[in-house]
A and B are shown apart, each in its own frame.
Chain A
């Protein structure tokens, strides 16, 4: 299995997290995303005509889109069905809902980070405002979930791919000038994710402080 990967990409990080949680061996093919723009090279455009990362190759299958890749990996390599609860329609629906939400986080919080860090030309104020709108929704959702004794985005005792899809650009949001100060339930949820066995870091993400455990 081969992941076309860029270290500083939150969307690639989602896949690295999943593969580590599943304990799967994989190969990485580092892509010179920046400054080389290798994701727009003919070789990679052939694999993903959208010119984006991540891309996963597994046998003959070539998949693009982080959420699609998470869905595939969880269904294929987690026989317990905990990460992607196919046999439970209610939870499956929730997972799909939050996967779509994760793409919204990419469009806002990640865009603001690309603007501040890699100088993408876009309306950063709009991106930040959009991120705050989504973070408020997520924070409120997590707060109510906690009241019900639920630790994760979707109901049930085990995290799902929805948590992995939402986590990276939330935890990297400060790099785009989006503070999480006003979202205490989001901060607690981030710490819970960081304490999951098999959790790995990426540049810009730090371990949770020992004392918070």
Chain B
């Protein structure tokens, strides 16, 4: 039995498997979640199915309910298929912006990263790397300072919220024409999912923000499927332009992530030197610690 089965915290979560866009209707698809081989399909009526993989139903063959293995819960939310290999929680976090009629939800691709999910979330929360890793796009030397910002753990919603984050960006979004100080808000509503809100070029006055999300599927402790997407009020740029922009950014993050050592996330906040940019990372590590997560992390000594 794998360690995964012994960690109820990771077990009893909804985990993303795929964007609905990428499912070929009627066919079987394979994936891996927490070291377990799974399959999924969307049947001819559009209903979603997830089950423990079985040789009777190989990938790319037509879905046949009689042959599928032991069923798991399947849930469609935020444009993705989610499942749970333990006791599924009743709710999955809300993203109200996805329901606004003048936005497009653009899944920008799922990428494998050779690192734990926790490390990936932590990098997503860190503005300090912008000038060095996304040079000329999300940051630029010498403007490397991360200004003071607020982090709170919302008890009512059980999520981490970082607000008043500001950063100078030469090209904050595909639709930006020049550099600007950009305001960010980060949300971590799920141990492996994070969203960032940033001012949307052209909509600053209305205070509306673009949403960029990262929903992570832990395949193993050190291999993660990162589902990325963006929910924009950007009517001028095509899906494709937006995908391309996000992929450039993620392609730059990937080698940085994969060079993290250790690959699992140390929860002891003294394990690595904190700097201001890490304030949200520290909150994240503490939050995971309090939940008692052990999968994909190095728990703090007690």
- The chain A residues found within 8 Å of chain B, CB to CB, are 7-8, 30, 32, 34-36, 38, 115-119, 121, 174-175, 177, 202-204, 206
Q: Which residues of A contact B225 (CB under 8 A)?
A: 119
Q: Which of B59, B251, B258 contacts A121 (CB 8 A)?
A: B59
Q: How far is the CA of A55 from the CA of B258 in the complex (A)?
A: 31
Q: Which residues of B contact A202 (CB under 8 A)?
A: 251
A121-B59, A206-B255 known; A116 vs B112 contact (CB < 8 Å) = yes
Q: Which residues of A contact B107 (CB under 8 A)?
A: 35
Within 8 A of A (CB), among B207-247: 223, 225, 239-241, 243-244, 247
Q: How far is the CA of A35 from the CA of B243 in the complex (A)?
A: 9
**Interface residue? B180 (CB, 8 A):** no
Q: How far is the CB of B260 from chain A (nearest CB, A)?
A: 13
Q: Which of B22, B114, B251, B259 contacts A7 (CB 8 A)?
A: B251
**Interface residue? B54 (CB, 8 A):** no
**Interface residue? B110 (CB, 8 A):** yes
A34-B109, A35-B107, A116-B114 known; A175 vs B244 contact (CB < 8 Å) = no
Cβ–Cβ contact B110 & A119, under 8 A: yes
Cβ–Cβ contact A204 & B112, under 8 A: no
Chain A's closest residue to B111 (CB) is A117
The prevalent SS among residues of A at the interface is: loop
**Interface residue? B252 (CB, 8 A):** yes
Q: Which residues of B contact A35 (CB under 8 A)?
A: 19, 21-22, 107, 109-110, 243
Cβ–Cβ contact B111 & A203, under 8 A: no
Q: How far is the CA of A119 from the CA of B32 in the complex (A)?
A: 11
A7-B251, A118-B111, A203-B247 known; A30 vs B258 contact (CB < 8 Å) = no
Q: How far is the CB of A20 from chain B (nearest CB, A)?
A: 16
Cβ–Cβ contact B59 & A204, under 8 A: no
Chain B's closest residue to A121 (CB) is B59
Interface size on B, residues (CB 8 A): 28
Q: How far is the CA of A7 from the CA of B243 in the complex (A)?
A: 11
Q: How far is the CB of A156 from chain B (nearest CB, A)?
A: 32
Q: Which of A7, A117, A174 contacts B244 (CB 8 A)?
A: A7
Q: 14 A-B pairs, CB-CB below 8 angstroms? A: A7-B244, A7-B251, A30-B240, A30-B244, A32-B239, A32-B244, A35-B22, A35-B110, A116-B112, A118-B111, A119-B110, A175-B258, A204-B255, A206-B255
Q: Which residues of B contact A8 (CB under 8 A)?
A: 247, 251
Q: Which of A118, A119, A121, A203 contacts B252 (CB 8 A)?
A: A203
Q: How far is the CA of A206 from the CA of B134 in the complex (A)?
A: 10
Chain B's closest residue to A8 (CB) is B251
**Interface residue? B95 (CB, 8 A):** no
Q: Which residues of B contact A116 (CB under 8 A)?
A: 112, 114, 223
Within 8 A of A (CB), among B13-29: 19, 21-22
Chain A's closest residue to B240 (CB) is A32
Cβ–Cβ contact B254 & A175, under 8 A: yes
Q: Which residues of A contact B22 (CB under 8 A)?
A: 35
Cβ–Cβ contact A204 & B240, under 8 A: no
**Interface residue? B248 (CB, 8 A):** yes
Q: Which of B109, B223, B241, B250 contacts A30 (CB 8 A)?
A: B241
Q: How far is the CA of A130 from the CA of B248 in the complex (A)?
A: 28
Q: How far is the CB of A28 from chain B (nearest CB, A)?
A: 10
Cβ–Cβ contact A7 & B111, under 8 A: no
Contacts A7-B247, A175-B255, A177-B114 known; list 15 others, CB within 8 Å. A30-B240, A30-B241, A32-B239, A34-B109, A35-B21, A35-B22, A35-B107, A35-B109, A36-B240, A116-B112, A117-B113, A118-B111, A119-B112, A203-B252, A204-B255
